[in-house]
Amino acid sequence: MFNFNLRTSKSGRAYSPGVLIANWNEDVYLEEDQLSISKDGFLHFGDTVMLVSPDNEKSPMENLPCERGNLSLAVTPEEMAVHALDALPTPCGLTALRGTAPMGRNTFQLLSIEGTSMGEPIRFGQNFGLGTTGGFRDRMLFLVSDHKTFRNMAKKSLLQGVFLTDELSYLASWQATYLDPQLRLEYEGFPVPANTKILITHCHTNQALAVPRNFWIRTYFGKEYEVVCHTYLDSHKAEEDKNYWIVVTGNPSDESTTMFDRPQPPSEAIQEKSSEVQTET
């Protein structure tokens, strides 16, 4: 007699190992995932995080209603791979999806590629890798980019593309860059704070990860936005908000949410006004 060990998805359906039925793979990609909790407020090698492109507030062209909001970096396999494979295909594409709920598709692990111990803080100017399994847990793919060619450029913007591969090479090296150019050298070597706007720069090409927001792609999961590796500079030679990223960690007070969902503490002015009202009453 065969003894099958059944798995149950979030949708309540049960499946036996090695058997892909209906939308089992889709459930894996969309299965809720849990992010690492930062006890000291910094990012660390080994952390499971989400990369969020925060709401674009500056560029009027991208501020159309259909293109506003917070977007998270996500794995985007071809439709055939979603149904046929029990692991991420390689190479695999990426997009930015609407929303900030962590799931198999949009969670990544911060990897040490230079021998730094797991658990050590990542510092500005230090190389790190970004890996994901897409929720399958068997094989990890790595975020890479390379100089633009006819074969590897982004399909819509024709800029330098990004994709996932199973080879951890120099093309998979990234660095966190401090947001303010005038303070960049001063912060070099300091730990990178979690849940704060930063730039993510590709070491080999010196281009920054970006979501232009005016190029969308129709995927198996719906309408999503193209992700590229291109540094957008304004008239002051500072990076535009298309290059801004927040590396999001888990909420220590509520494991079902992230620090991105956590309410911001009221400003001192609001606190003082509240105290005045309470005193008057």
Mind listing the pLDDT tens digit for each residue in 151-194?
A: 888 888 999 999 999 998 999 999 999 999 999 999 999 999 99
Measure Cα distances from 191 to 41, 119, 120 in Å.
9, 12, 10
pTM for the structure as a whole? 0.81
Is 80 exceeded by the pLDDT of residue 115? Answer: yes
Say how far apart CA 254 and CA 104 lie, in whole Å: 19
Confidence of residue 31 (pLDDT cuts 50, 70, 90): confident
Q: Give the model's pLDDT for residue 90.
A: 84
State residue 266's pLDDT score: 57
pLDDT of residue 17: 38
Residue 64 scores a pLDDT above 70: no
> What does the block give as tokens for 53?
């492109």
Percent of the chain with pLDDT over 90: 53
What does residue 3 show for φ and ψ, rounded to 5 degrees?
-110, 100
pLDDT confidence band for 269 (50 / 70 / 90): very low
Amino acid (1-letter code) at residue 112: S
With residue 131 as reference, give the H or E element that holds it: strand 129-132
pLDDT for position 259 = 87
Partners of 52 in beta bridges: 72, 246
* pLDDT above 50: residue 140: yes
Establish whether the linkage from the previous residue to 89 is cis, with ω within 30° of 0: no
pLDDT for position 33: 81
* pLDDT surpasses 90 at 226: yes
